């Protein structure tokens, strides 16, 4: 992209200490929506309520002329139309997906980007064909190290014009639950979720699941594209290379009890026994524990875990809260997974605002 366009697209930055949400951040919030927290009541997020982040515009792809090409460091490049993809062996995976930037707007200082609060999550059943056998048919060269996925979505980001592209290490790409999905919750993939085909990589943050997929390229060195080497890195200062963002950190969210005020979303609930419920997930291992607090994290109680419905989806939990005394409370929930990872009570900060799984706090006023 030439110098005429570059001024349209500025480098990443942090908000000043008192800087409020800008109209540009609001524009992104109006397009890219979270999952309303009361939808945590659904094991499977209904269509239209799953969180959504579109980097550029949703492209309009004609399924009749769309093609997927598989090439690069392979011995037999393949091109498939949608019927050919659908004719391959199919499988369905239930996956909790979360945006790597979830929670960003609560960080101090705030990285200026999509201003997520805590709702950038959803669970869907994705139906598609496993990627591994397709790569095997193409014949992976012995020197292959990564697989690059290219979407049809196009724009500029931080001065770089690009098609959206992300890579996976070869071993991850060959996992049996990594699929190319053409259905979501049993219906054809909606345009906003990447129709006609998207990548699904259970356990990884959302930026991995390339939408509007058009090209799969096996490469013999680590991919250095923008979304891999510049964005989606964990950095404390802008000049360090940073660690890549990969799997989802554990998080529990709760359904705010009672009823809201329209403008503030502040909650009020009638005094009595209140069942506090929510969901918890981790991309690193099964959730093994959820703790709940009604005093802002001073003391914690064990929540009862629901059945696991899929190793790669969230798990329900509940806790009986004896909220007999009117007053103001602060509910918190904290998930721990089988690897021992848990949620911090102070913000895990990096310049991109990624993988921030700070404990969720929900103030509630109990009334008589």
Tell me, residue by residue from 248 to 287, as one string, x for binding to a copy of itself by CB under 8 A and - for no binding.
--------x--xxxxxxxx-x-------------------
Between the alpha carbon of residue 101 and those of residues 196, 233, 257, 287, the distances in Å are 25, 11, 25, 21
* Least distance (Å) between residue 268 CB and a copy of itself: 5
Tell me, residue by residue from 88 to 107, as one string, x for binding to a copy of itself by CB under 8 A and - for no binding.
-----------------x--
Query: How far apart, in whole angstroms, are the C-alpha atoms of residue 277 and residue 304?
Result: 9
205 is a contact residue toward a copy of itself (CB under 8 A): no
Query: How far apart, in whole angstroms, are the C-alpha atoms of residue 156 and residue 308?
Result: 41
230 is a contact residue toward a copy of itself (CB under 8 A): no
Bond from prior residue into 48 cis (ω within 30 degrees of 0): no
233 is a contact residue toward a copy of itself (CB under 8 A): no
Q: Which of 192, 246, 343, 356 binds a copy of itself (CB under 8 A)?
A: 192
The 3-state DSSP class for residue 121 equals strand
* Least distance (Å) between residue 230 CB and a copy of itself: 12
Bond from prior residue into 13 cis (ω within 30 degrees of 0): no
- Contact yes or no for 114/32 (Cβ under 8 A): yes
| Other residues' Cβ atoms within 10 Å of the Cβ of residue 259 | 10
Q: Which of 17, 20, 76, 83 binds a copy of itself (CB under 8 A)?
A: 20
Q: Which of 40, 66, 98, 113 binds a copy of itself (CB under 8 A)?
A: 113
The pair of structure tokens assigned to 317 is 């939990």
Closest to a copy of itself by CB, 233 or 341: 233
DSSP secondary structure letter of residue 105? G
* Least distance (Å) between residue 48 CB and a copy of itself: 4
Q: Which of 72, 103, 115, 203 binds a copy of itself (CB under 8 A)?
A: 115
* Least distance (Å) between residue 289 CB and a copy of itself: 27
Query: How far apart, in whole angstroms, are the C-alpha atoms of residue 76 and residue 220?
Result: 16
Q: Which of 88, 154, 233, 235 binds a copy of itself (CB under 8 A)?
A: 154
* Least distance (Å) between residue 56 CB and a copy of itself: 5
361 is a contact residue toward a copy of itself (CB under 8 A): no
CA angle at residue 223 from 220 to 228, to 5 degrees?
A: 160
| Residue 295: exposure state from Cβ atoms within 10 A (0-12, 13-18, ≥19) | exposed
215 is a contact residue toward a copy of itself (CB under 8 A): no
* Least distance (Å) between residue 146 CB and a copy of itself: 23
DSSP secondary structure letter of residue 136? H
Query: How far apart, in whole angstroms, are the C-alpha atoms of residue 358 and residue 314?
Result: 17
| Other residues' Cβ atoms within 10 Å of the Cβ of residue 188 | 13
The secondary structure of 293-329 as a DSSP string is: ESBTTSS-EEPEE---S-TTS-EEEEEEEEE-S-EEE
65 is a contact residue toward a copy of itself (CB under 8 A): no
26 is a contact residue toward a copy of itself (CB under 8 A): yes
User: What is the footprint of a copy of itself within residues 156-185 (CB under 8 A)?
Assistant: 156-158, 161
Tell me, residue by residue from 296 to 335, as one string, x for binding to a copy of itself by CB under 8 A and - for no binding.
------------------------------x---------
- Contact yes or no for 276/321 (Cβ under 8 A): yes
Instruction: List contacts with a copy of itself (CB under 8 A).
Output: 1-2, 4-5, 8-10, 19-34, 36, 38-39, 41, 46-50, 52, 54-58, 60, 105, 112-113, 115-117, 119, 154-158, 161, 190-192, 256, 259-266, 268, 326, 365, 367-368
């Amino acid at each position: 992209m030439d110098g005429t366009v570059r001024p349209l697209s500025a480098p990443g930055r942090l908000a000043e200490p008192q800087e409020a949400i800008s109209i540009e951040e609001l524009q992104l919030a109006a397009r890219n929506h979270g999952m309303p927290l009361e939808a945590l009541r659904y094991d499977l997020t209904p269509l239209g309520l799953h969180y959504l982040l579109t980097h550029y515009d949703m492209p309009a792809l004609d399924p009749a002329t769309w093609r997927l090409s598989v090439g690069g460091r392979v011995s037999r490049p393949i091109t498939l139309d949608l019927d050919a993809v659908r004719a391959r062996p199919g499988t369905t995976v239930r996956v909790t997906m979360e945006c790597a930037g979830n929670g960003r707007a609560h960080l101090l200082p705030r990285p200026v980007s999509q201003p997520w609060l805590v709702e950038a999550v959803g669970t869907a059943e994705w139906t598609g064909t496993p990627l591994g056998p397709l790569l095997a048919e193409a014949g992976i060269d012995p020197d292959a190290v990564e697989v690059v996925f290219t979407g049809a979505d196009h724009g500029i980001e931080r001065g770089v014009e690009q098609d959206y592209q992300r890579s996976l290490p070869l071993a991850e790409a060959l996992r049996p639950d990594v699929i190319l999905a053409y259905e979501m919750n049993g219906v054809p993939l909606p345009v906003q979720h990447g129709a006609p085909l998207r990548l699904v990589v259970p356990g990884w943050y959302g930026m991995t699941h390339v939408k509007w997929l058009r090209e799969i390229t096996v490469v013999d060195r680590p991919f250095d594209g923008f979304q891999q080497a510049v964005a989606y890195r964990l950095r404390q200062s802008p000049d360090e290379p940073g660690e890549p963002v990969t799997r989802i950190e554990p998080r529990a969210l709760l359904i705010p009890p009672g009823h809201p005020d329209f403008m503030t979303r502040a909650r009020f609930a009638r005094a009595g026994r209140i069942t506090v419920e929510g969901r918890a997930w981790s991309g690193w291992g099964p959730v093994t524990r959820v703790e709940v607090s009604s005093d802002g994290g001073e003391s914690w109680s064990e929540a009862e875990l629901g059945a696991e419905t899929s190793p790669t989806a969230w798990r329900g939990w509940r806790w009986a809260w004896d909220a007999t005394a009117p007053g103001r409370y602060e509910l918190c929930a904290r998930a721990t997974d089988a690897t021992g990872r848990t949620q911090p009570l102070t913000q895990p900060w990096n310049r991109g605002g990624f993988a921030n799984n700070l404990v969720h706090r929900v103030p509630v006023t109990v009334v008589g």
